[in-house]
Amino acid sequence: MVTCKETRAAIIALHKNGFTGKDIVATKIAPKSTIYRFIKNFKERGSILVKKASGHPRKSSERQDRLLKRIQLRDRSATSAELAQEWQQAGVSASARTVRRRLLEDGLVSRRAAKKPLRSKKKHQGQIDLLQKV
């Protein structure tokens, strides 16, 4: 199995040896768009290394995310704020919004119990009368 790093290195090596983008595409080691993107990035940066991802680093590790999922599955009716509080006791300082995002990543979406009309005394008494007649 060829990894992305190896593919990138092979494409850049061919490019350095004078092969054109069209020649490299003919080798079918990667899709055309990928090959041209790797060459373009190499020309701009002078390196085949991938840029570090932008944005704020995650507050939780994969292990902590699994713990959150277990906590949530234990009590399906818990709110995200309650889950955040319980997760905080486990050592992760995260907001309720972060909890919702992590659960959504795991495919757990929020649900709310359906509201049902209350049974009236009249309706309840009518059913008792029917049962007594039978």
Distance of alpha carbon 5 from its chain centroid, rounded? 24
Give the pLDDT band (50/70/90) at residue 67.
very high
pTM over 0.85: no
Nearest in space to 38 (alpha carbons), one of 51, 55, 53 = 51
Tell me the pLDDT tens digit for each residue of 11-47. Answer: 989 999 999 888 989 988 889 998 999 899 888 888 8
Tell me the pLDDT tens digit for each residue of 88-122. Answer: 998 888 899 999 999 999 888 877 778 887 777 77
Query: CA distances (Å), 62 to each of 4, 75, 102, in order?
Result: 23, 20, 10
